[in-house]
Structure 1
Amino acid sequence: MELSPLQRSVLDKYETLSKSLHNLDETIKNLRENSSSESPEQVLRQLREIEVKIALVGTLFKGSVYSLVLQRQVIQNSRTYGDR
């Protein structure tokens, strides 16, 4: 049976998701095995620090994309109104 491009794309996304979840599972297992000397509170504190850093990077990325979109709109508007 031949798959449509959309079906192939969906299956590829599921494959990527499956690999990511498998990697996450392995990472969690490793954390559990290697963090026996650390208290759960210490692990949670470290995870919270990582979460804050990821959120900051995400915010900076969104801001950069928004800035680029606005710059392109300004350039496009100046070309449109400049031609008149």
Structure 2
Amino acid sequence: MISYDLRKVRNYDGLIKILRGWKCISPLKSLWLGTLTGPAGTIRDLLRAQMDSDDGLIVVELKPGADWALYKTNENAAAWLQANVTP
């Protein structure tokens, strides 16, 4: 799970290009889900290169068996969570 907060300058193009290239989905405006390989720190660093120094970023590993619930997300979020997180 990747979420970001672009603060002063809001240029999402570089981030979105990388995330879509990784075949991530976006259930909410600044939240992405993807099946990625590698440490969270490496993913953070690759995305951080597309951000300004005042922006925020979080990368969290969702493991099978984790509990989840949705409300008013894009339609593909539930399917992704069912396929990747639900045991």
Larger Rg: 1
* TM-score, length basis structure 1: 0.21
Report the structure, 1 or 2, having the larger helix content.
1
Which protein has greater RCO, CA pairs closer than 8 Å, 6+ apart?
Answer: 2
TM value normalised by structure 2:
0.20
